[in-house]
Every structure is written in C-alpha cells, then in structure tokens.
Structure 1
C-alpha cells in the first residue's frame, strides 16, 4: 500500500485512522483498555534498520523508492486515545491516529497486536477482580502463553486490579509487584514433606506460603504448623474439590491455633470458579491459564480503519466501509461518557464535534503530538496511572456491569 500510494501521489494525504472493537466478546458487558503504554513505547522505537531494509530489498518486496522512504521513517503525526485502563464499549474509538496515509497505515499491525491481546487480558482480569470481591489475586500464567506475551499479560492483569504477578520480568520492566510460592517439585525433591517445609521456612521465614496438597492435605497442614508455628503465613491448595477442601483446612488451621494463617487457592481458576468460592474461607487466588488467554477470548476483536481524509481543497471527507456486517462509521469523532449522578449511562460518540457538555466526561486524551510521545503514559509511572484510572472508570459503571452472567454491553453506544 505504501509503495502504491507513493507512486500515486497519495501517500502524504492527511488521514484519520481509528482502532475500535465492533463488538465485545459474546456475553461480556464491558471491556478494559490495556496496552497503551506498551504501544507508545514500541512506537517511539519503531524504525527500519539496515537488516530489515536489506531483507526487503533482497526479496524485492518493495521498490527502492519505498525502501528509501522506510529508511527515513519516523512517525510525525498525532495520536489520541482512551486513557489506559478506561472502560470501552463496541464502537469506542480507543485509538485515533492522525497523520499522512503512509505513516498511519504502517502502524496497523503494531497497534492491533498490542491492544487486541492486552485488552483481552485486562477485560478478563477485571471480571475476576469483581468475582473476587476484594480478595487479592495473583497472575501466575507465564507457562501458558508466549514468553513475551507473559510479560504483557502480567502488566495488563495488574492494570485490571490483580495484586501481583509471578513474572519477575514484569516486575523489572513495568513495576508490577511480584510474588510466588514453592511448587510440588520442591516437596518431591526432599526425603519427606517435613524436610521440604523446614528448608523453606529456614530460608524464607515462617511468613512463607507452604504448598499442602502434594500428598495428604490434613497431614501436610498439621506438619506445616508444627514446622512454622502458628504464625505460618499461608498455605496453598492446588487441587481437589476446593470449596470442601478449603473449609476443612480452615477448620484444621483454627483448631491448631493458626487462626491468622491465610489460605491461597490455585488450580485452573477463572471468574466463575472464583465467584463460586465467595462463600468459602479463601483469602487469595492465583490465576494462570484463564487470565493470560482472556478467559476464552484471547483477542479483543479490534480493527484499525481509515475514517477520514482531506480532499484536494484541504477539507475533511468522511470515509467508511459499507460491506455487509463490517460497515464502519466514518468521520472524525469525539467520544464522551454521559453520566447521571456519577453513574455512566451512555457511550456518546459525536461526529465532527469536540465540545463536551455538562454531565459528560471526554474520553480522548493526547498520547502523541507531532511525533513526540507523552511520557506520562510510559514506564512504571504510566502503568500505575492506568491501574488507578481503571478503578475510577469501573466505579462509574452501573451495578449490572459487574454481573458475570451473559448479557448485552452495559452502556449503549450512540453516534450523533
């Protein structure tokens, strides 16, 4: 496309691209935007070096004129978008790229690959946070996704309200709090379960979390308290009929005097199993496969479309697809969240009008201006800001948004 546009003289035509989701995953009531900080970090380093250019040249993928253009590529346009952590609905213009056609169209895969995955994870994680009803969750899914996706998933889950991750790289890169527990392999390494517990407590102290379901749970719980004392930090349960096992372990811990010892559960949890454990004396949850796979929806279904361009006289022209089931809404847009007494009622997307009225919260914020990235959205500080924004945005939603049962989007998207 870039090569053809350069040849046609349209590569520099001013354009507006939007990234949005046509629909939410079936049955979901809202989504959570994640990936903004990662996208901006990638954009600031998005270059074509000599190895890439030589490969394009050797394969005759594009002509020399296009290779020269790519060699000088630096995004110089503007980007606005929903603040990271914001709630989104179908049609929400999550990211708006305003630039020349060639500069903007080149970002499609970069933007979609980041936002589709990160937002899928964050949206699933937000449902789990609601289901946990204030009890902490740890992201533990690195073994269930790609090595780079694991770091992204940990970041997205933390933005959505998880308390920690077992992925240390996410802690190093993005400042996500880290934690972990011993695995069954550590117990099996030792001659006895007691030896394993003593080794762990000797190294990490009695406040550690001991895994108690390698062999017999009641025996392990008794041994754990004998080794660590009644000040044992926590036990972890990773198998069995969790509601009944947890209840039995709680009773046993209390009878042994370890009333302050917490119970953490893992074992293929998702938002529905977490909700089913609300009445059980569970203190914390560790979630793996379900959160890093978007709880059955590993991509958010977002698309990147051209919605406006300037004509030969410099006026903006709305453009849109008309194809069946994939039609788009053209025009430059200004989305707002309509509020009544602090509760969101509507996702209102104004076309060609930037002015918000009373009772409306503007949703687009500047992310890139003239090619310069706003550093407020980068790094640890940007990730922490996204987490805070997510909490505020979800708090605005009607109570129906937090239901796990299948339903329609909690807010209607209205174009005006």
Structure 2
C-alpha cells in the first residue's frame, strides 16, 4: 500500500530520542523548552507552547483568548473536527464560513458578508479559526483587516502548514493573528509522534497557555499568593489540563525541524510533478495564491464528475493506493446536526467535499510510486466512464 502520508525517520532522529531517553528527565525537561524556542525562532515569532496534540493547542489558544459560555467561534467547515470542537470545549457557540472553491480555504469575501449580517444581529464572533487547508495559508492580510474592523481574535490553524510561507515569511510569525497552531502528527510535515504547538508574540497569552497545559498549577514564586511556604509549595490558579509534551517527543521534534525546509521543498517538487502528470485528466487541482508557498501536507484533486468518486476510491484502494478524503464537512457530522446544522448550509464546502480525493504525498515518495498513483487514477477514471456508458445502453 502506498499511503496518503507517512513520517520520515532517520538515524539522527532515533539517536536524538535515545539521548533524551537516557537523560535524567524524560518529561517536563529541557528538550521541551528547547523545541519551543527552536520552532518560534524558525517561524519568526517570540513564544512557543508545546502540547501533546494540535487539538490541545487549539483548546488552550481559545481559553487564553477568553472564549467561554455565550461567546462565539467561527471557522471553516472544510477541516478536521478539532478546528471547531475547540470552541465547544469552551462551551462557546460555533458557526462556519464557506470556502473559496479554488484554494479550499476560508473565503474572506464570504466572511465579510457574514460579518455584516452578524453585526446587525449583534452576533459577531469573538474568535475566528483560519484553517490553512492542505498546507497553503489563508489570505491572512484580508482576514486581519476584518478582524481589526469587527473586533475578533484570530487563531491560525496551521496544522497542515509548518514550513509554508505567506508573503515571503514563514507561517506562524503571527503578523496577522494572535496565535498560530501547528500539528506534529506522523502524517504532517514534521513529527513528534503525537504533538502540537501554539505560537504567539503575546507573552500573556503564552503564560496563560503554559499554565493551563499543566493543570493550572504554578510554583513560580512571582506568581504565588502565599510566599511563606517551603520549596515544595505550589498553587492551582486555574482549572487546567494535562496537555504536556514529553522530552522524548521534543527531542524528535528538534531533530525533525532541522530538515523542515528539505521536507517542504520535496513536497513542492512532487506537487508540481502531479500537476504536470494529471493535466490531461478530467479533474482540477488546488490553486496556489501568488503570495503563498504551500507546505503541501495534502494533495487534493477535485473529480470533474463527483458521481465517480466512490468507484475511483474503491478501485485505487484495491490496487494498493491509499487515497483518502479530506474532509467530511464538520457541519454535516451527527453531533453538529444536533446543534442545528444541516446539509446545504455551506454549498461551496459541500461541493468541494463531494468531488475531493486526496492522493498520496510524502517526503520519501519515489517518482515510480507517483507514476503508479497517476496510472491507477487514470485507469480508475476510465473504468468509471466505461461503466457509466455501459449502464446507459
């Protein structure tokens, strides 16, 4: 099976983990701090807060920005459920904005129209989670302009996009947002096995997230209310969580980070090659904005005739090609339908979903493997067309 994505682990990664495993501290040790500094420095931001997953980072980001009961979070429905669930974790109301059909990202024009209506109803969002689908940044400058105008905070869900660039700067510098979140799941650009990180330039947000990721507990003398206790003393200042990353994970992350640009460059080369090889087939590919360099976490095609997708998917899986579908719109999930959402509310997102198919893309994918994917896709589409012709006779 050629998977749709997988990690690339080298001897240096293994040695880094062994070294961390052999140290005195294998969790809450110096590697986590070093990884946070390394990622923040790489993307041009001030602070990093490492966690056990990007989902945890999204939750902490929302909490640090004050999301709570009665407040509102908006995001795109074309995403993994975590981008919206982080709002529900805070007991906030969640709503969605439709996407741009060319980039699959949240559409600033549709956002503006929704904001105008929401302002009249006194239902403006408190937080917008802008998802960088497939690894390409949203139009963050346009989103930032709207955020300033309408007074909402912005979280970049860059789970797909570490190593990507927007306006010639790394995604994660937080020029146009309050917090950026990265994922280090094995199928992402770099991995810590499981893990995530929230990046910010705001020291108060960073402090809040670090406190909340470890039970809301502090033993910092500068933060304690009772300063007359011994060195054992700590205080719980908030209801926090155990969202910590281990030193083993951080050691792997530090090693992987040294090859980030190499990983992204190879993914871009493979994406260009896919574009060339697929040009004659009845499908469309992602449109890249002129000021973006995608990290290409996913390579998604849109089949010209969505009715063939199940057939194409099944044939390719049977032939050992691990195609996938990213994503089932969040607003169509049973849990969100219980909250009042239904099909046909976000038509562009739904049209995208019905035609979408993710093809395998990973750093050490060979050209022979890529050619096999293309050939199998071409044959699957041809067989779908033939089956349709025969069914009409």
Q: TM-score, normalised by structure 1?
A: 0.28
Larger radius of gyration: 1
Q: TM-score, normalised by structure 2?
A: 0.29
Higher strand share: 1
